Amino acid sequence: MADVVHLHVGAPKTGTTYLQDRLALNRGSLEDHGVAYPIGLKADMFGAALDLIDLPWGGQREAVRGDWESLMGRVRRAPGRAIISHEILAGAKPKQVEKAMRDLAETEMHLVFSARDLARQIPAEWQETVKHRRVHTFRRFLGQVMESPRRNPRMWFWRAQSLPDVLTRWSSGLSPDRVHLVTVPQSRAGGTLWTRYCEALELDPAWLTEDSERANVSVGIDETIMLRRLNRRLRAADLDSESYRAIVRELVVHQRLALREDKRKVTLPPSAFDWAEEVAEEWMEWVRGSGIHVVGDLEDLRPRRPDPDASWEDPDKPRQGKVGDATMDALVTVIMELAERPDPDQGPVSRLARAARRLRGDTP
């Protein structure tokens, strides 16, 4: 078993995609310095994390059964130190946390949690839910977030994002010096977040020279509205989850819509900032009282208010021309992809064709 394990449990939308990809790209160099990032044959630790938290996750549950035990086997074989990282671990329930702690009981375990202010997290998480086939408005999502309990939460957002709740669940039995909170800086400039991650994980940045270009990208207001409309149609067409992930989320959203210029940014309404600041104060007070190790500035958790003279753009109110442009971009992207797959009996193309026939009402 590795002598020391740094377990990074999230939160989502805190630069985790970049972190994990850069760790994977530099595995050889890390191993030369006695640090294992034991992803095995897969690109990341998503499967192991999903296996532990035991959720359907768009039909992917059965495909990852046994992945957590496989990861634990690689950790047991790792000499020196090991790093485990995936953001969905933040949503683990108490019994699932207890299992992970039992599995890692023979190591000196350090818990790492990364947090970002709610003014950025709420819009980002709403978009993420839409990228996972949801159709709800921003107003509805924000209302649910503001009204849902933050202690012992049932709502996924708070299970993964409520700093005191996540750290209370995951840090039981750990001394404060083994619990590390990484705050996401308000500015992306200068690689500050990467430097903070390296400090929390006890890594020398010089060991990880190969950079990553991956990020969990966001889209704008009009692109999100288009995607919500598309999700409604695809529900009626009964497109399977695998095809949705490959065609819509990866091809259309990540490779095209996220790259569009002049996107209208989704932001928190001014009326919600007082509430968001109250939550931030609760979090900062909890952290100060806990004695845990903070990497960064606690003030980064305080939402940055917009210019009082700036007008707020409602994420539920489309500019039809921009939505139309986004729709055409998405359509062109899919057509160009299909043009490179001339055999209609292969893969997602045939599934897409069947879905189109169902949407038209044709007999399969």
Contact 273, 119 (CB under 8 A): yes
Res 133: pLDDT: 96
Q: pLDDT-based confidence at 114, cuts 50/70/90?
A: very high
Which range is least confidently modeled, 61-75, 161-175, 177-191? 177-191
Q: Which of 136, 67, 72 is nearest to 102 (CA)?
A: 72
Domains and CATH numbers, the chain: 4-207 (3.40.50.300), 221-265+319-360 (no CATH)
Q: What is the pLDDT of residues 257-270, one digit of tens each?
A: 999 999 999 999 99
Q: Which amino acid is at 358?
A: R
How confident is the model over 30-54, as a mean pLDDT? 96
Share of the chain above pLDDT 70, in %: 93
Residue 364 has pLDDT above 60, yes or no: no
Q: Rounded to an integer, what distance in angstroms lies between the CA atom of residue 356 and that of residue 48?
A: 34
DSSP one-letter string for 10-70: --TTSSHHHHHHHHHHTHHHHHHTTEE---TTSSSSHHHHHHHHT--TTTTTGGGTTHHHH
Crossing angle of helices 94-103 and 46-53, rounded to 10°: 120
How confident is the model over 146-168, as a mean pLDDT? 96
Res 344: pLDDT: 53
Backbone angles phi, psi at 185, to 5 degrees: -65, 155
The 3-state DSSP class for residue 295 equals strand
- The two structure tokens encoding residue 149: 């309990």
Q: What is the pLDDT of residues 209-246, one digit of tens each?
A: 999 988 777 899 999 999 999 999 999 999 999 999 99
How confident is the model over 99-125, as a mean pLDDT? 97
Mean per-residue pLDDT of the chain: 93
Residue written as tokens 């921003």?
A: 138
Element housing 112 (H / E) = strand 108-115
Q: What is the pLDDT of residues 289-320, one digit of tens each?
A: 999 999 999 999 999 999 999 999 999 999 99
Res 339: pLDDT: 79
Residue written as tokens 């990032």?
A: 37
Residue 286 has pLDDT above 80, yes or no: yes
Q: How are the residues of the chain apportioned to helix, strand and coil, as percentages rounded to the nearest 5?
A: 55, 10, 35
Q: pLDDT-based confidence at 126, cuts 50/70/90?
A: very high
| Chain centroid, CA 46 distance in Å | 10
How confident is the model over 140-168, as a mean pLDDT? 97
Q: pLDDT-based confidence at 188, cuts 50/70/90?
A: confident
Residue 153 has pLDDT above 70, yes or no: yes
Res 346: pLDDT: 56
* 160 cis-preceded (ω within 30 degrees of 0): no
Q: Rounded to an integer, what distance in angstroms lies between the CA atom of residue 359 and that of residue 362?
A: 8
235 versus 352: which is more confidently predicted?
Answer: 235
Share of the chain above pLDDT 90, in %: 87
Res 338: pLDDT: 81
Q: How big is the CA angle at 314 (ends 309 and 320), to the nearest 5 degrees?
A: 120
